[in-house]
Structure 1
Amino acid sequence: MQEVEKFLKECGVYFVATVDGDQPRVRPFGTANIFDGKLYIQTGKSKDVSKQIHTNAKVEVCALDKSGSKWLRITGKLVSDDRREAKVDMLEHYPSLKAMYSPDDDNTEVFYFKDATATFYSFAETPRTVKF
């Protein structure tokens, strides 16, 4: 899981796919943080992505490294964690978000991956899978 977090952080931006009815939706994300032994991401409760995850927790993530030769795909379910400690930890790792989010507002939301499968791909190597 640490390798997955490191890859996402090095990419800077990765894409999360959700389902909205029968329409897939993809958008950029930039947070990845291990807390309490789980890999977390962050968004706002007011965003459509949050509503889509609450309706269908299955997501897929795709991240491409800066060289363009390696990428990562993660499939799994996202579970909302309303604990203040989880929000505080995320915001401490991403202080720039503090201008928009607070652990005490009604908007900040963190999710952790459950039953996740991460596969590392490369043009030069055999795919490698990590489960967490």
Structure 2
Amino acid sequence: MINFEEILNKKVNGVLATIGENGPQTRVFQSLWSENNKVYFCTGSQKDVFKQLVSNPKASYCVENKFSPVMSVNGDVSIIEEMEYKERAFQILPMLKNLYQEPTNPNFKVFCINIKQVKTFSYAEGPKEYSL
């Protein structure tokens, strides 16, 4: 199986898909880190993406791996309130200080996708699917 955590730990940009009132919604997002079959992100509580994740806690994240293959991870979403995760996000993305001032800001949210499925595609190998 592809080492998906190694790819996600490069703080890659990808497309995060959630489910909104009118169906699927996508937006470009950056992963923060991945470990223990989870990939972590952050956002603001006032944003539509956060409201969608609270309302329907399932998501998919697709990245174009520059080395091939294209990869998506799918699973259930958890909102993370522990301060150590928020502080880690601030360490990884120092520009968060400009947006939220500090990790204790109640509008600053960290969430993760608990990865249940990894899908890949390359022209050399075709589609592959792995369940965790």
TM-score of the superposition, structure 1-length normalised? 0.82
1:44 aligns with 2:44: yes
Residue 81 of structure 1 corresponds to: 80
Over 3 Å counting, the alpha-carbon distance change for 1:76 and 1:38 in structure 2 is closer
Residue 116 of structure 1 corresponds to: 116
The CA deviation string for residues 61-110 of structure 1, in whole angstroms up to 9 with x for no partner, is 1111236x521111111100111111111221222322213211011111
CA distance in 1 between counterparts of 2:37 and 2:60 reads 20
Corresponding residue SS for 2:103: coil
Residue 58 of structure 1 corresponds to: 58
8 Å contact 1:119–1:129 — kept in the other structure? yes
8 Å contact 1:63–1:73 — kept in the other structure? yes
Question: Which deviates further from its counterpart, 78-87 or 29-38?
Answer: 29-38
How well do the aligned residues superpose, as a CA RMSD in angstroms? 2.4
Q: Which runs of 5+ in 1 are unaligned?
A: none
TM-score of the superposition, structure 2-length normalised? 0.82
Over 3 Å counting, the alpha-carbon distance change for 1:87 and 1:22 in structure 2 is same
**Matched pairs, number:** 130
Percent identity, please.
28
